Every structure is written in structure tokens, then in C-alpha cells.
Chain A
Amino acid sequence: MTPRPFIAAALASAALLVFPPAASAAVPDGGLAMPPPPTGTTTRANASPADAGTPLPADGGTTAAAAEPPPPPPKKVEAGVFDQALQDYFAGKPRAAAGPLYAWLQATPRTDENYAWGQYFLAKSLIDLGLTHAGASYLARIARERTNPNVLPRALDALKDLTDRPHDEVMIDEQVFGALDLGFLPDETGAYAHYQQGMVDLRVGNERWANTHFSKLPESSSEASRAKFALLVTRLKQVKEPSDEMVKDFLGLSEDDKLTRDARNEAALAVARLRYERKDYPGALEAYGKVKLPELDPGRASLYLEEAWTRYKLGEVRAALGILTTLDAPSFRDEFLPDKYLLRALIFRDLCQYLPAKRAAKELTRRYADSLESVRGREDLTQDVRLRRAANAHGGTRRAARFVEVLDLEGERLGRYAGSFGDRLFAHLTKLYDLAHAEGVRVYEARLAEAVRQEADTLLRASEQVRLMEYEVGLKLYERVKKGAKVVSPQDEELLSPAQVAFHFDGEYWNDELKSYRVRIESRCIEENP
């Protein structure tokens, strides 16, 4: 082996040291105050950075990349491509801007002063085109590389906006906001980053560290309220007997205007559940009343069921039965609520309506027969439609499922841009989406497996109770009535107050009535010793 290549390389390095590449004269102070960034940058068309613009390899893709043939060297890009791409972007043509920006990034070393701007505008173009995950991956790269302090806050703001919709939680929440050096960030973004880092600490069980982040949040910020809520929820999991103070704190959060309506509702629900656990049923009902929904919003099935249980415990069986009528509405037909049948059976039993009680109890086993069979047969529960739907309805599984849906949708959308993006960007984004999709599906399936197990557990418990109920009702049904027994005089029906109006229910559900159903039903119980 001759030493000639080494000599040539050494000479080239020396030449670069002696004649550093001309920096962009138009960039003041090495940064840009406001978009659009300055034009006139010299594009280093002749430079051939090996992998300047290539994406960071994902963990799973490293070995695969090694097996693949090396990518062809990037094409030369003419000077002015960057400027033209920016003009297109600001002219409202992100589709025309994306391809050239990517080509420019490929041909430009990372040390170029406008490299981060290039990434930023490519990200914005992709987001404008509805490819949010691809955009987020470039924004996350800016945040990790931190090559340009002027771009960074904008990139973080854009990333923060993306967190409102289904997103890659690991890439954005953990690897960006959860790992940022917080000293340089503007207030609002800094508060969000503190909140996320505190949340990461909370998730791993380190409340003290979480508190150091949360204590830095401005008291008037929404993040402070959200952090308080997260702290309370975490503590709630740890204590057996929640204190009065904790209930009061949740109550305060349920009236905190800085929180979103959803978060306030969650806090009100927490109050209601705590009061229910403490058998303070009127207090629980009052807390349920604090849950505010948009006009004509059907609300949440679990909330109705909890309220129905509360009213049942209070002895308001007719109101509880009314709420169970609500849960039969089309809006809630697909909800997984095995308790609903149990509660209905209990109410009918209490009113000595034994046939309906038996029917309500049987309804659970009838409706969930397939799922129960799957559980008992030890089949793969993730394949059971009902359990799967129930697991997908909330929590981390729901978020993961929605993220996979977004990736599917954006993957399809990407196909529409194949022509205008050019082969390189299209191939790159296709690979990016394939990898993200594979990872998204892996996360989703892991969460799903755990979630369906919990749902199956709920179903089994309800089924067990229902069988007991059936047995009990069966006994009652054939109980001998003693001589002289009388039917209990019906309870006085609550008459309409002058301020109320009643609409007879004939099977047609109106969203504005879902919270108002009341059942008029007589008790068939008899007094043994009148």
C-alpha cells in the first residue's frame, strides 16, 4: 500500500487550514435577528461533505445501514438555491421550497452559518405541507445540535406547538425538552422545558428532582398549574388515605383559569373520586357538577358511570337509572363499561324488579361473550376487538395509537409530494417515516398488551359480580311471599318544580338531554310485616 493517499489527504487538510472557506459576509454577528435570514450566502457548491445533511441514524437502523450500499454522493448545488428556496417559502410555496432546501443541506457542511436556518425552514415547509413528524425531526435536530442560538428558540417554539397534537414523545418530550440545558431559553419555552423535565423526573419516581424544576416555573404560568396537578396525582398514587388538603388542592385546580378546560375537568373528577372514596357522596356529586363541557358535547362515558354509582350510593336509584339510559346513547355505544350492566342489575334488584335485574345481568355476559371466551381461552387479547378498542380509548395506548395513525396519514400524504420533492428528499422522508412507523407500532403494541390485560381484568371482575347477582336474583325470584305481605307504598315521585320542564324520552337521544334523564319506576318490594 502506497502512502500517496495519506499524503494527499494531509496536504488537503493543510490547505484547508491555511485557506479557510470564505464565510458569508452578509451574516451579521453570525446570526439572524428575524426571518427571513439574510440572502447572499455563498453556497459551497464544490464542497463534498460526506454526510452533512443525512439524518442521524436511528438505533435500529445502524446495522441495516451498514449492510446497505453507501449512498451516492450529493449532487452539486448552485449558489443561490438557498435564497431561492427561502423566497419560495415566504411566497407561500413550501412544496417548491422543501426539495431545494434539502438539496442545499446535503451539499453544505454543518458548520455553515445558515445550516441551522436551512434545517429550520425545511422543517417549517414540511410542517406546512402536513408532514409534521418529518418537520419535528428537523426541529429536534436543531435543538440537539444547537449550532445557531438565533434559530434555537424558534425551533423550540415550533416544537412546543407540535406537542399539542400526537407526536413522537421520546424524540420531543424526552430527548429535546427533557434534556435541554435551560439557562439560555426564553421564559415561555423555558417554563415548558422545566415542566417537561420535571415530568420526566416524576415518571421515574424522583419527586425531589422534579420539584427543583417545578419550583422554577413562574407562579402565573399554566405550566405551574399543570405541574401542581401532576405532583398531586403522583402523591395520590403513593398515599393510602388522601388528606383534606389534597382534596382542597385538587379543588383549587378545578377552578384554576390558567389550566385548560380538560385539565380543570380532570381536577374536578379527581375531587369527585376522592370524595366518593371517602363516602362523601353529596360532595362527589357537587364535584361532578363542576365538570364543564362545550355546548352539546356528549361528555365522557366514564364520568356518567361514576356519577351513576354516586347517585346509587345516595339512594337516588331513579336518577342513577336515568344516567344508565344516557350510557345507552349512540355516542357511547362502543364504550367499554362492564360496570354499567352490574349497576343496572343492582338498581332493579333494589326495586325488586327481578326479571329486569336478571336480564341486565345476563346482558353483560351476552354482550362480552366473545371477549370473555378469549380471556378464558388464553388467546391473544390484543386481537379481541372490544378489548382492543377499550385499551385504545385512553392513556398512553391512545396516544401511541393516535401517533401511529398520524404517521400512516402523513406517510400517505408524502406519496403525493413524490414528484415535487425530488428523489433524494422523497427517499429520505420515506425512510424516516418507515423507521418512525416501525418504532411507533412497537411502542403501541407494548402499551396495548399491558392495557388489554387491565381491561380484561376489569371485565372478569364485573363478570364475576354479575354471576353472583344472577344467583341472588334467582333466589329472590322464586322466594315465597308470606301471607299478609303488602307491596311497599311507592316512593313519592319528585314532582317537577315550576322552573323545570320534562321531555318524554321515546328512544331519540338529544345531546342537550344526556345529563337530564330520570326514570319513573315503581318499587315492587313487599313488606313482610306490615
Chain B
Amino acid sequence: MRSVLLILLCLVPGFARAQAEALENPGTVSAVQDRLYRMHHELTLGVGVLPADAFYKGFVGALGYTYHFSDTFAWQVGRGMYSYNVQTGLRRQLERDFDVAPTATAFEDQVQWMVGSDLVWSPLYGKTSILNSSVVHFEAFLLGGGTVVKVHRSDGFRPAINLGVGLRMFSGKTVSFRLDVTNNVVFAGTSRIINVPTVQLGTAFNFGATE
């Protein structure tokens, strides 16, 4: 009981100070602005890379369309990417020195192309100052959805779950640049899953946004 009283006694000056501060400087200030950049129909063209697989690296070209329901919620209706794969030195070495068959399962997991659809949630919208002379607006988003992946085998269609994050820098009302970092969890077999991370840079064209 005595310690409780002691604690209360210690807190009293703090409360009093806070109250005095509120009395002297009442109110809070915010800058309320019309949102400068709003998205509606978004067409994205991008390039990227599939960096994770040790046996190949994929260089991808991507295309997508996103419909924005609001400033924070959108549906990436469709996206597709084609991967141009380049074998790594490791694979060449395995084939040459160790005579590993090219039909080995690991080699057959090469992604040829994939299509999918995602839901996009953009909780962050902000701005930053560049060299104290200009202001750039950006938004950060999370996305998640499903993908159909075509891998390098005869019956190569595999389902996948796509999860990722992204960042968009606005250049104008109609053009913005976005960076997507996603991971497709591909169900390659009954008890086997593979991860296909992608890093993609794109230019987004925005149509039909209202002021």
C-alpha cells in the first residue's frame, strides 16, 4: 500500500505538467491535403529477375492489370510473366563433371512462365523530400494471391500462392514506378513445395483516376 502511494506521488508532477502543457498549448495540428495521386485502372509493364534458384537465373518480362477499388484496396486482376532462363555455372559443372542427368527433378523446376491474380492492400501513403528541393510521394503495399506456374516439364502446370510487398513512387497523375518483391510458393508435387522469389521493377500507367 505504501509503495502504491509512493508511485502515485511520483506520477503526480508528470500528470500536472501534462495538464499544464495541454492548457497552454491546446489542440493538435495536422496538414490536411487532397490526396495528390489516386489510382484507378493500372497497366503495368515490368522487368525482373528470378534470383533464387542455384541452377538457373530467370530474367523476366511482365505485364499486369490492376483495378483499384479505393486508395487502399485493389485487385491485380491479371499478371503474367515470361522467364528467359540462363543456366548457372553450377549446373554446367554438375552436367560436365558429375554427369548428372538433365531430367533430374531439381532441373525440371525451371519456371518458364506464370500467370496469376492478387489482392493488393496499400496501408502506407507518404512523401519524402529529395535534397530539400522536391517532394516525392510514395505508397507501400502488401499483395497476396494465386499463381499458375509453368515449369520445365511435360505436365508442368503447378499451382502456387503468391505473397509479397511492394513500393510505388509516383511520378505524375498517370505514371508511377513500382518495385515488387514477391515469393511464389509452388506446389511442385504431392509433398514437395518450391519457393520462387521474384524481384520486379515496373512502370505503371494509370487511367481514369478522378481528381
Which residues of A does B touch, CB under 8 Å?
296, 318, 321-322, 325, 348, 351, 353, 355-356, 359, 496, 498-505, 510, 512-513, 516-522
The answer to whether A356 touches B134, judged by C-beta atoms less than 8 angstroms apart, is no
Query: Is B30 located at the chain interface by the 8 A CB criterion?
Result: yes
Among B27, B35, B38, B133, point to the contact of A321 (Cβ < 8 A).
B27
Closest Cβ neighbor of B30 among chain A residues = A502
Among B27, B31, B135, point to the contact of A520 (Cβ < 8 A).
B27
B33 contacts which chain A residues (CB < 8 A)?
Answer: 500-503, 512-513, 516
Q: Do A355 and B32 form a contact, CB below 8 Å, given A296-B134, A296-B135?
A: no
- Known pairs A498-B71, A499-B38; list 4 more (Cβ under 8 Å): A355-B24, A505-B29, A517-B31, A517-B32
Q: How many interface residues does B have (CB within 8 Å)?
A: 22
A501 contacts which chain B residues (CB < 8 A)?
Answer: 32-35, 125
Closest 7 CB pairs of A and B: A521-B27, A513-B31, A505-B29, A516-B31, A502-B30, A503-B31, A519-B27
- Complex: how many Å from CA A353 to CA B71? 38
The answer to whether A520 touches B30, judged by C-beta atoms less than 8 angstroms apart, is yes
Q: Do A519 and B125 form a contact, CB below 8 Å, given A499-B35, A500-B33?
A: no
- Complex: how many Å from CA A476 to CA B153? 86
Query: Is B190 located at the chain interface by the 8 A CB criterion?
Result: no
- Complex: how many Å from CA A108 to CA B78? 84
A-B contact pairs, 11 of them (CB 8 A): A296-B134, A296-B135, A356-B25, A498-B71, A501-B33, A502-B31, A505-B30, A505-B31, A510-B31, A516-B32, A518-B29
Q: Do A504 and B30 form a contact, CB below 8 Å, given A355-B23, A356-B24, A356-B25?
A: yes
- Complex: how many Å from CA A521 to CA B23? 11
- Complex: how many Å from CA A135 to CA B145? 72
Q: Do A353 and B30 form a contact, CB below 8 Å, given A296-B134, A498-B71?
A: no
The answer to whether A353 touches B26, judged by C-beta atoms less than 8 angstroms apart, is yes
Closest Cβ neighbor of B72 among chain A residues = A498
Q: Do A518 and B30 form a contact, CB below 8 Å, given A498-B71, A500-B35?
A: yes
Q: Do A517 and B35 form a contact, CB below 8 Å, given A296-B135, A356-B25, A510-B135?
A: no
> Which residues 59-117 of B have a CB within 8 angstroms of A?
70-71
A113 → chain B, closest Cβ, in Å? 53
A292 → chain B, closest Cβ, in Å? 16
The answer to whether B71 touches A512, judged by C-beta atoms less than 8 angstroms apart, is no
- Complex: how many Å from CA A99 to CA B65? 70
B3 contacts which chain A residues (CB < 8 A)?
Answer: none
A328 → chain B, closest Cβ, in Å? 10
Query: Is B28 located at the chain interface by the 8 A CB criterion?
Result: yes
Closest Cβ neighbor of B126 among chain A residues = A503
> Which residues 1-51 of B have a CB within 8 angstroms of A?
23-35, 38
Closest Cβ neighbor of A358 among chain B residues = B24
A197 → chain B, closest Cβ, in Å? 43
The answer to whether A519 touches B29, judged by C-beta atoms less than 8 angstroms apart, is yes
Query: Is B191 located at the chain interface by the 8 A CB criterion?
Result: no
Residue of A351, A499, A501 with highest tally of chain B CB at under 10 A: A501
- Complex: how many Å from CA A518 to CA B28? 8
A75 → chain B, closest Cβ, in Å? 53
Query: Is B154 located at the chain interface by the 8 A CB criterion?
Result: no
B159 → chain A, closest Cβ, in Å? 36
A323 → chain B, closest Cβ, in Å? 11
Q: What's the dominant secondary structure at chain B's contact region?
A: strand
A499 contacts which chain B residues (CB < 8 A)?
Answer: 34-35, 38
- Complex: how many Å from CA A308 to CA B164? 46
B144 → chain A, closest Cβ, in Å? 24
- Complex: how many Å from CA A518 to CA B71? 22
Closest Cβ neighbor of B35 among chain A residues = A501
The answer to whether A322 touches B24, judged by C-beta atoms less than 8 angstroms apart, is no
A520 contacts which chain B residues (CB < 8 A)?
Answer: 27-30
The answer to whether A356 touches B26, judged by C-beta atoms less than 8 angstroms apart, is yes
- Complex: how many Å from CA A528 to CA B208? 54
The answer to whether A519 touches B35, judged by C-beta atoms less than 8 angstroms apart, is no
Closest Cβ neighbor of A513 among chain B residues = B31
- Complex: how many Å from CA A521 to CA B133? 32
The answer to whether B26 touches A500, judged by C-beta atoms less than 8 angstroms apart, is no
- Complex: how many Å from CA A520 to CA B27? 5
The answer to whether A519 touches B31, judged by C-beta atoms less than 8 angstroms apart, is no
Closest Cβ neighbor of A520 among chain B residues = B28
B38 contacts which chain A residues (CB < 8 A)?
Answer: 499
B127 contacts which chain A residues (CB < 8 A)?
Answer: 503, 510, 512
A521 contacts which chain B residues (CB < 8 A)?
Answer: 26-28
B25 contacts which chain A residues (CB < 8 A)?
Answer: 356
- Complex: how many Å from CA A498 to CA B210? 12
Closest Cβ neighbor of B37 among chain A residues = A501
- Complex: how many Å from CA A325 to CA B30? 10
> Which residues 108-160 of B have a CB within 8 angstroms of A?
125, 127, 129, 133-135
Q: Do A519 and B32 form a contact, CB below 8 Å, given A355-B23, A499-B38, A510-B135?
A: no
B125 contacts which chain A residues (CB < 8 A)?
Answer: 501
Closest Cβ neighbor of B211 among chain A residues = A499
The answer to whether B30 touches A503, judged by C-beta atoms less than 8 angstroms apart, is yes
A462 → chain B, closest Cβ, in Å? 22
- Complex: how many Å from CA A353 to CA B24? 9
B133 contacts which chain A residues (CB < 8 A)?
Answer: 296
- Complex: how many Å from CA A356 to CA B27? 11
Q: Do A522 and B26 form a contact, CB below 8 Å, given A500-B33, A501-B33, A510-B31?
A: yes
Among A325, A351, A356, A498, point to the contact of B70 (Cβ < 8 A).
A498
Closest Cβ neighbor of A512 among chain B residues = B135
- Complex: how many Å from CA A496 to CA B34? 9
A513 contacts which chain B residues (CB < 8 A)?
Answer: 31, 33
B70 contacts which chain A residues (CB < 8 A)?
Answer: 498
The answer to whether A500 touches B32, judged by C-beta atoms less than 8 angstroms apart, is yes
The answer to whether B129 touches A510, judged by C-beta atoms less than 8 angstroms apart, is yes
A504 contacts which chain B residues (CB < 8 A)?
Answer: 28-30
B28 contacts which chain A residues (CB < 8 A)?
Answer: 504-505, 519-521
A321 → chain B, closest Cβ, in Å? 7
- Complex: how many Å from CA A503 to CA B29? 9
- Complex: how many Å from CA A302 to CA B70? 39
Residue of B32, B71, B127, B133 with highest tally of chain A CB at under 10 A: B32
Closest Cβ neighbor of A507 among chain B residues = B29
Closest Cβ neighbor of A354 among chain B residues = B23
B20 → chain A, closest Cβ, in Å? 9
Closest Cβ neighbor of B133 among chain A residues = A296
